[in-house]
Structure 1
Amino acid sequence: MPTETAVLETSLGPSLRRWRVLNRIKQETLARDLGVSQSRISRWESGDAQPNGADRLKITQLLRARPETAADRALLDLVTQASMPVHLVCDLTHRLLAASPARTVNWRIPTSELMDRPLWRFASESIRTVEHQLSEHGWFEPLGPDVVYETERAEFAELTIPQSRIRISRLPLSDGRFARLVRDEPAA
């Protein structure tokens, strides 16, 4: 199962910093745990450097959302039972964690075939553009805002993304990792 997507280039460093700060872990401690220098952690977090394949895999494994507690499973249940189009993905890898029936109405394959797989390959041009601008919106700040944007219709063999207004929210899971709630905004 792929654990990396194109989006990691823009979000890996800020995601690592946010996770480390929220979990009160010093760069030196994380560097020791990963077997790298503190200055390398600093360069990754600032975006001045990107981790190599082995280090990228370690960081991705560290940060990927794992909804394992009862509270996290309740969030998955709420998404799965929602009456509006909504889905939940790992904020870093875009792996699908849950989807509502109203979201999957435009899917031509069973949800099980997409579960725990990155959805990034289905991103429309608008979604890709917004993704690469998340830092500018304050997404990686401790109390980052929701981001609302318009997306165009995009057709894929497996699913259709309808033209819509989308709201994304970054939600911390019980273990300090992040999921992204993706909701269609009601028409004004």
Structure 2
Amino acid sequence: MLYTGRALKRLRLTRGIKQSHVAEFLNVTQATVSRWETGVLIPAEDQQAALEHLFGRPASTADAAIKRLVETSTARVHLICDHSHRLLAASPARRAEWWRDMLGTPMFRYASEGIQQAEGTLQDAGWYDGQTPSIVVETGPNGRDDVPIVAGGVLWERIPLADGAAGRLVTTLT
């Protein structure tokens, strides 16, 4: 299989793998992986073989189902990597709020003060060790037009992903 451009990026994001991890696995720089994903460079044959080894296994059907449910939901919901906060999937209602396609974007830079404060309490609340699988967060506004967050509540739910990482399902409460 030939891994080039957007297909490589989409596959990497679907599996929740960082560019830096791909770079480390293939013994290249993160910039090289970025250039592959933008189509500036094409991986050499040996790199293609390594990419096939890395991505060759089929995606988890559970992960694919979660992504499909999020992307077809009528609710304002999105799924992020719980560690990196990169966007993995978003519902049409959520995507309509944003000025551009945010897939793969680290979302924490858009967080309101309320979200940042809630993030800082997760360790003590037992979020990362499974004691607290869900939490309601009062967001407060972030004052941005490109990725607006209004005052209100969201439900965060921690979801294990097939690769051992965790996802965070973020649902706006009305």
TM range, smaller chain: 0.5 to 0.7
In the TM superposition, what whole-angstrom CA distance separates every residue of 1:97-137 from its partner, at most 9, and x where no partner exists?
0001111222122x2xx111201110000000000110122
Q: What's the counterpart of residue 32 of structure 1?
A: none
Q: Hey, what's the Cα distance between the residues in 1 that align with 2:73 and 2:82? A: 20
8 Å Cα contact 1:146-1:167 kept in structure 2: yes
Q: Hey, what's the Cα distance between the residues in 1 that align with 2:91 and 2:167? A: 15
Q: What's the counterpart of residue 101 of structure 1?
A: 92
RMSD: 1.6
8 Å Cα contact 1:168-1:180 kept in structure 2: yes
Q: Secondary structure at the match of 2:132?
A: coil
Q: Secondary structure at the match of 2:65?
A: helix
Q: Hey, what's the Cα distance between the residues in 1 that align with 2:150 and 2:119? A: 18
Q: Please point out which of 133, 138, 151 is paired with 1:163.
A: 151
In 2 relative to 1, CA 100–158 (structure 1 residues): closer, same or farther, beyond 3 Å?
same
Q: What's the counterpart of residue 132 of structure 2?
A: 144
Q: Hey, what's the Cα distance between the residues in 2 that align with 1:68 and 1:129? A: 34
- Specify the code of the residue in structure 1 equivalent to 2:152: S
8 Å Cα contact 1:86-1:184 kept in structure 2: yes
- Specify the code of the residue in structure 1 equivalent to 2:106: P
Q: Secondary structure at the match of 1:80?
A: helix
Q: Hey, what's the Cα distance between the residues in 1 that align with 2:75 and 2:145? A: 23
Q: Hey, what's the Cα distance between the residues in 1 that align with 2:131 and 2:163? A: 17
Q: Hey, what's the Cα distance between the residues in 1 that align with 2:74 and 2:173? A: 13
Q: What's the counterpart of residue 52 of structure 1?
A: none
Matches within 5 A, 1:169-184: 169-184=157-172
In 2 relative to 1, CA 117–123 (structure 1 residues): closer, same or farther, beyond 3 Å?
same
- Specify the code of the residue in structure 1 equivalent to 2:76: P
Q: Hey, what's the Cα distance between the residues in 2 that align with 1:126 and 1:108? A: 22
Q: Hey, what's the Cα distance between the residues in 2 that align with 1:72 and 1:145? A: 18
Structure 2: tracts of 5 or more residues without a match: 1-57
Matches within 5 A, 1:72-87: 72-87=63-78
In the TM superposition, what whole-angstrom CA distance separates every residue of 1:131-184 from its partner, at most 9, and x where no partner exists?
011012210123433111211122324221122211101100122210100011
8 Å Cα contact 1:137-1:147 kept in structure 2: no
Residue identity over aligned pairs, in percent, reads: 38
- Specify the code of the residue in structure 2 equivalent to 1:156: R
8 Å Cα contact 1:150-1:165 kept in structure 2: yes
- Specify the code of the residue in structure 1 equivalent to 2:172: D
TM-score, normalisation: structure 1: 0.58
Q: Hey, what's the Cα distance between the residues in 2 that align with 1:184 and 1:137? A: 21
